[in-house]
Amino acid sequence: MRYRPYVPYLFIAPMLLGLVLFRLGPLFVSFAASFTDWNVISAPSWVGLRNYREMLASEAFWEVLGNTALYALFYVPGVMLLGLTLAVLVNQRLLGSTFFRGFFFLPYITSTVAVALVWKWIFATRFGLLNNLLYSLGVERPPSWLGDPSYALIAVAVVAVWQHAGFQMLLFLAGLQNIDEGLKEAARIDGASESQIFRRITLPLLSPVTFFVLIISLFASAQTFEVTYALTGGGPQRASTTLAFFIYQNAFVHFRMGYASALAYVLMLLVGGLTLLNFALRRRWVSYG
């Protein structure tokens, strides 16, 4: 049978078509839309850099950008630390460790709406589980976790960490199980304690996985939407509105597609810049051998 050079391209054509239609196409269309005033119903009109100038002059944008940075400061270290802790626990050769791997991973595959309903009950001001616990401990006026601007963003970050830590746990667990146990045994023979082994052997050999988890956690912190939408709707007083949720509000609530596209590209530049910075710094702390 004669070989036809075009045949392999026929097999990958559906994938390439999907890439162009659903990835690259929207990317270029949204970039063009960021220079327009478009409300979806009428035809877009060219406004140049007006959306970007409006964004930089808007107090709401800077407030939302600050919320996004604060959310990332809570979420990224929290989800990484909890994920690593769970991975170390379930990596022990103990009875029931396999069950707990699935148990800790369960929140990640649970519907965000269901998770939000449970946590809304926990955070409820009058009849919530958390505030009832605080009442029993003698706290007379426990906070309104989802209704107070001082606590709403923290509450959203706590729920997101709780839901996503199981996935980070699996990544760290895979890294832990790839570490040569012979190195640890040699250290024990030389008199090293378990804490020294963890600090001097486990963490350095786990650094490539830690770097990967750091990158995907940064992406997740910048793209948070479902938890915010289900718990607080961005309130109160825009206190829990992050940049991704702000993009949704401008695009699908206020129908300002051009302004929302400009916001999306600013978010992309911020996340891309942080990612490049982490790649530039990784040689200082990531060890591949």
Residues ≥6 apart with Cβ < 8 Å to 73: none
Residue range 55-79: average pLDDT?
96
Query: In the chain, pLDDT over 70 holds for what percent of residues?
Result: 99
pLDDT band with cut points at 50, 70 and 90 for residue 289: low
pLDDT in tens, 111-164: 999 999 999 999 998 889 999 999 999 888 899 999 999 999 999 999 999 999
Is 234 in a helix, a strand, or coil?
A: coil
Mean residue pLDDT of the chain comes to: 92
Residue-level pLDDT at 93: 79
Number of H helices and E strands in the chain, helices first, is 15, 2
pLDDT in tens, 190-230: 898 989 999 999 999 999 999 999 999 999 999 999 999 99
Task: Report the relative pairing of strands 36-37 and 45-46 from DSSP bridges.
Answer: antiparallel
- Residue 181 predicted with pLDDT over 90: no
Is 46 in a helix, a strand, or coil?
A: strand
Query: In the chain, pLDDT over 90 holds for what percent of residues?
Result: 78
